[in-house]
Amino acid sequence: MSKKTTLALLISAILCGCSLEVETDEENNNEPDNQVQDSDNDGFNDNDDRFPHDPNEWADADLDGVGDNTDNCLEIPNPNQFDENQNSVGDACDIFAFDQSAIPFTSDEDNLEGIVAWNVGAPAIEDENTGHRIPDPYYLENINEYAYYYLASRDYAQINPNSPGVIAATDGAMTGFPHFANAMQTYGYSESDIRLRFGLMTLGDDVEGVDWQLNGDTETRYYTGGTFSIELDEIAILSGDMPQLTLDIKYNVAQNPLDDEISGITEPVDAQSINVVADDNVMQIMAEAFLADVAQSDVGLRLVFDSIQPAGQSEYEDVNNARGGAYFEPQNGRLEIVQD
C-alpha cells in the first residue's frame, strides 16, 4: 500500500469517526507488487525460460530454436532436425548419416612423415632382433633377405627428432566426425593440424603361422605393442595402447621387390580405451568432441593404410644403434570410425 493511499484513508477515518487497520509494508514484504511470471507453469520463470509458452521446453543449449527435450542433436545447431536414417540422432550429430566417418591422410618424406621399420644387429636401444627370412621364392640375397622386426612412426627414439609423426591429414577431405568437425570450425582448426604418432611395435616371437604367414603371393605380418597419440596443432589430445597392426606385403613378381605392394590396417580401438591427455581447456573440448563421434560406434576407431607403395621406401641406417631398415611413406590412408 502506498503512502498516499494510507494518508487518504486515515483522513477519511478521522472525519467519519471510524477505526482503521493499516497493513504496513513490513506485514506485506513477502508479496512484491510485481509478481515474476511463469506463463506455462513449467517451474521456470519467463525470464529464464527460452520457451515461456511451452510447458515441455525451457532450455536450448545449441540455440537452434529447438528445445533440448526435443532436439535430436543437442551440441550442434540443426533447426531442420533432419534424421535420414530415423535412428533418433540428428544427421548433424550422427556418424551413420555419412557413408564414412574418416580423416584421409598422406605422408610426405620431405617433411619426415611416415613409418620406419628396422632390424637390430646388436643390443642397443632395442634388443638384438632380426625378422624371419623372406620366404621363397621372394627371398633375394643382399636385397630382400629378412623381414623387419621393429616398426614405429619416424619420430620414435630420436630416429627423426623433427618428424611430426606418421601421417598428416588432408585439408577439406574429412567426412563424418560431426562433433569433431564442428569443434574444429568453432576454434579455428583444420584437418592439416591433425597428426598421429605411434611407438615401438614388434613381430613378437616371429613364429610362422602365429606372427606371420604366407598365402599365395601375399605375406601377412602381425605387429603388436606400443602406444599411439593423436595430436592437434602439435599438442597431444588423445592417447591409448596401439592395437595390432596387420601388414600385408603382396609380392607381385618374384625376385623383384620394387613392385611389392604394402598395405595395413589396425584392429579397432573403442572410445573407452582412448584417453584424453590434453591439459588446455580448448584442447580438452576438441578431444571430447572426437571421442563423442567414436563413441557412437560399438566397434571403434582404426587406422588404414590403403597402400604403401615401394616408391615411398628409402633406406634407413643407424650404425651407432646397430639399426638397419627402411622408411616407408604411406601414400594413401585414413583414420576411420568403423560403422556397425
Please report the pLDDT score of residue 79 as a whole number: 87
Nearest to 221 by CA among 292, 121, 115: 115
Please report the pLDDT score of residue 97 as a whole number: 80
- Tell me the percentage of the chain whose pLDDT exceeds 90: 44
311: pLDDT strictly greater than 50 = no
Residue the block writes with cell 566426425: 177
Query: Pick the residue with more confidence: 219 or 30?
Result: 219
Please report the pLDDT score of residue 1 as a whole number: 53
Residue pLDDT, tens place only, 99-114: 788 998 877 777 778 8
Q: What is the Cα–Cα distance from 93 to 83, expressed in whole angstroms?
A: 10
Please report the pLDDT score of residue 332 as a whole number: 81
Residue pLDDT, tens place only, 117-161: 999 999 889 999 999 999 988 888 877 789 999 999 888 887 877
Please report the pLDDT score of residue 5 as a whole number: 52
Could you tell me if 327 and 313 are in contact, meaning their C-beta atoms sit under 8 angstroms apart?
yes
Q: What are the CA-CA distances from residue 326 to residues 107, 131, 258, 329 (Å)?
A: 15, 13, 13, 10
- Tell me the percentage of the chain whose pLDDT exceeds 70: 85
Please report the pLDDT score of residue 333 as a whole number: 84
Name the grid cell of 152: 614405429
Lowest mean pLDDT among 8-22, 31-45, 174-188: 8-22
232: pLDDT strictly greater than 70 = yes
Q: What is the rounded average pLDDT of the residues 57-79?
A: 86
Q: What are the domain boundaries of the chain?
A: 25-58, 62-93, 100-338
Q: Which long-range contacts (CB under 8 A, 24 or more apart) does 30-36 make?
A: none
Strands 323-328 and 115-120: antiparallel
Residue pLDDT, tens place only, 318-338: 898 999 998 887 778 889 999
Residue pLDDT, tens place only, 183-229: 999 999 999 899 899 999 999 999 999 999 999 999 999 999 999 99
Residue pLDDT, tens place only, 241-292: 999 999 999 987 766 666 788 899 999 999 999 999 999 999 999 999 999 9
Nearest to 64 by CA among 86, 92, 106: 92
Q: How confident is the model at residue 307 (pLDDT cuts 50, 70, 90)?
A: low
Could you tell me if 128 and 322 are in contact, meaning their C-beta atoms sit under 8 angstroms apart?
yes
Q: How confident is the model at residue 163 (pLDDT cuts 50, 70, 90)?
A: confident
pTM score: 0.80
